[in-house]
Chains A and B, each alone.
Chain A
Amino acid sequence: MMRTFQFATRLLATIATLLGVSLMVFLLMQAIPGDPVDAMLGERASGADRMALREALGLEASLPEQLRRYYGGLLTGDWGRSLQTQEPILDLLVARAPGTLMLAGSAVLLALMLALPLGIWSALRPGRLPDHFAGAVALTGGAVPGFILGPVLIMVFAVWLGWAPVGGADTRGSVVLPALTLALGMAAVLSRQLRAALLEVLDEDFMRAARARGLGHAAALWRHGLRNAAIPVLTVLGMQLGALLGGAVITETVFSWPGLGTLTMEAIERRDYPLLQGCVLVISAAWVIVNRLTDLITAWCDPRIDWSG
């Protein structure tokens, strides 16, 4: 019963956050300096074109009326049309979303594959050579921005070794390099988090008890250690996944990966502000939902977590 109540309040809070986020995106569009029609069409556009765009965007209406239309459109699925291609914005977003989802999913998978061994290895030998090595790898991995790592990976794996394509999404292997670019930074943070969580858990009484019952080191680690260390790691993973959605703009641009990030940049370059609005809205909403889902999963893993906060 308590759980259901808490769940309902969390859901309401999430909806409130989404409302706030969409309001911010609306206000963002009010930040266009000068006349938005000038900004979109350029100053040499004809009077008729200007009037038509003004009409289409509903700029003549008062601010509250614009806001009402904005939310009305959001809820009914009418997100407006792209200024450039005249296609419905929602269609464009739906067409590009799978690209970003696939990239993000592959990145998370790769990050876990890298972070788990690295984190466990350094937690088992704290302060020794493997630990220092893993720490140095994590420091470097965490500090390299995607726009440096991406081109370096392209040089090494696409140009010199020829193992993967330079960019685009034409072949199956094209996702590897952009996913790796995103994954390295994530793996750096995750492995450090896992190391810290494991070191804490390894010191607990139940671990000593497990060893005393005759469980081997690896078995104790597997059965009791990792499970208890998973929660802080999961939290960080959720935060990282959210950050990844925002940072994907740069990585997708480096690799010309067809996703929401490149769509955002196309919208900016073509001054297609209604489309930009849609992109920012979708990515931010995804980030809110991912963060809330993470809360949910961690609470489900560990019943002790107070959920109401």
Chain B
Amino acid sequence: MVRHWYLGVLVGWLALACVAPWCVEAGNRIALERAFAPPAADLWLGSDDLGRSILLRTVAGAAVSAPLAAGVVLVSLCVGTFLGTFGAWRGGWFDACLQRVVELFQAFPGLLLAIALAGILGPGTGNVALALCLVGWVGFARLARAQAASLKSWEHVLVARALGTPEARILLRHILPLLAAPLLVEATFAFAATLAAEAGMSFLGLGAQPPMAAWGSMLREATQFLLVAPHMLIGPGFAILSLVMAMQTAGERLRQRWQLPR
């Protein structure tokens, strides 16, 4: 049971994300008379500078940060896999261009690129998601390309080709299923990294804007009042940490189970 703690954490956050929409309004309710209230029996994680319940805001944040990270990973996964597989399959100039672009993106510190891009596009969750997608597809494209390039010469693919199977069918039926495991593991780690990156960008003030409760922007508020109300760190800090660690552990376990190399 302890071995699978991460599943509990993931299921827990999934459940909280489902009830999150009902917490948004209550979480935004300002009650200045109880500003900076420390954790108490009727106010579990205390309240912030405007007297808003941190517990409710943390739960509400689950519907902002986690879906955004999931969306970014999904888009990056689809775009990256498509480009990488197609490049490996076709070869030629498309593949050569793709490889140069991937190398160029990898020559950049990804987080810095995303921060600069979001800074230029202007603050907001949409622009943060866009910036993270623009950086995120590269890892998937590289992985998919490398895997597909070696699968291309496997016997079952050669046989399918010799039998005259249409290209699209070979890619979908004979190559993609074999890519699924490594890509899924990569996606799990990418989710953890994207969640942390989104929170970091919100922390810098680039992501969710007030009064929206996102974990990163809650931490930003918490550090502003660190000396007055350190309890403001607990909710959003625990949320980010638990989810990132659970996803990383899940990825590691999947990798071990499917015996994939690092």
A residues near B, CB below 8 A?
17, 20-21, 24, 28-29, 31-33, 139-140, 142-148, 150-152, 154-155, 159, 166, 242-243, 245-247, 249-250, 253-254, 264-265, 267-269, 273, 276, 279-280, 283-284, 287-288, 291
Contacts and interface: CB of A to CB of B under 8 A. Distances in A.
Contacts of A159: 226-227, 230
Interface in B96-141: 100, 103-104, 107-113, 115-117, 119-122
A21 B120 contact: no
B153 to A, nearest CB: 21
Interface extent on B, as a size class?
Answer: 35 or more
Contacts of A242: 109
B233 A148 contact: yes
B109 A20 contact: no
A249 B111 contact: yes
A147 B109 contact: no
B200 A145 contact: yes
Interface string B195-222: 0100110011110000000001001101
A144 B241 contact: yes
A28 B248 contact: no
Given A140-B245, A147-B219, A155-B230, A32 B107 contact: no
B63 interface: no
Contacts of B117: 28, 31
A273 B117 CA distance: 11
B244 interface: yes
Contacts of A32: 120
B237 interface: yes
Given A143-B244, A159-B227, A280 B249 contact: no
Nearest to B243: A143
B192 interface: yes
B200 to A, nearest CB: 5
Nearest to A277: B116
B104 A276 contact: no
Contact of B249 (A20, A21, A139): A139
Contacts of B196: 145
A110 B94 CA distance: 44
Nearest to A145: B196
B37 interface: no
A284 B108 contact: yes
19 contacts: A20-B100, A20-B104, A24-B104, A24-B108, A28-B116, A139-B248, A143-B244, A147-B203, A147-B219, A148-B241, A151-B233, A151-B237, A152-B237, A242-B109, A246-B111, A253-B204, A265-B204, A273-B120, A276-B120
Contacts of A146: 200
A148 B237 contact: yes
Contact of A287 (B109, B115, B122): B109
A139 B192 CA distance: 13
A264 B226 contact: no
Contacts of A264: 112, 115-116
A265 B220 CA distance: 14
Q: Which 5 A-B pairs have the closest CB atoms?
A: A246-B109, A268-B119, A246-B112, A147-B203, A143-B245
B240 interface: yes
Given A24-B108, A249-B111, A264-B116, 16 more contacts: A17-B107, A139-B245, A139-B249, A147-B200, A148-B233, A151-B223, A154-B226, A155-B226, A159-B230, A245-B109, A246-B110, A249-B204, A254-B223, A267-B119, A284-B108, A288-B107
B241 A143 contact: yes
A279 B240 CA distance: 29
Contacts of A142: 248
A250 B3 CA distance: 33
**Looking at A155, A159, A249, which has the most chain B CB atoms within 10 Å of its CB?**
A249
A283 B248 contact: no
Interface string B223-262: 1001100100100010011001100110000000000000
A287 B105 CA distance: 12
A250 B223 CA distance: 12
Q: Which residue, of A140, A159, A273, A280, has the highest number of chain B Cβ atoms within 10 A? A: A280
B107 A20 contact: yes
A249 B108 contact: no
A283 B107 CA distance: 11
A32 to B, nearest CB: 5
A147 B226 contact: no
A284 B112 contact: yes
B244 A145 contact: yes
B216 A147 contact: yes
Interface centre among A140, A146, A253, A291 (most CB of B within 10 A): A253
B249 to A, nearest CB: 7
Contacts of A148: 219, 233, 237, 240-241
Contacts of B111: 243, 246-247, 249-250
B116 A280 contact: yes
A245 B230 CA distance: 28
A17 B104 contact: yes
A155 B232 CA distance: 12
Nearest to A254: B223
A126 to B, nearest CB: 15
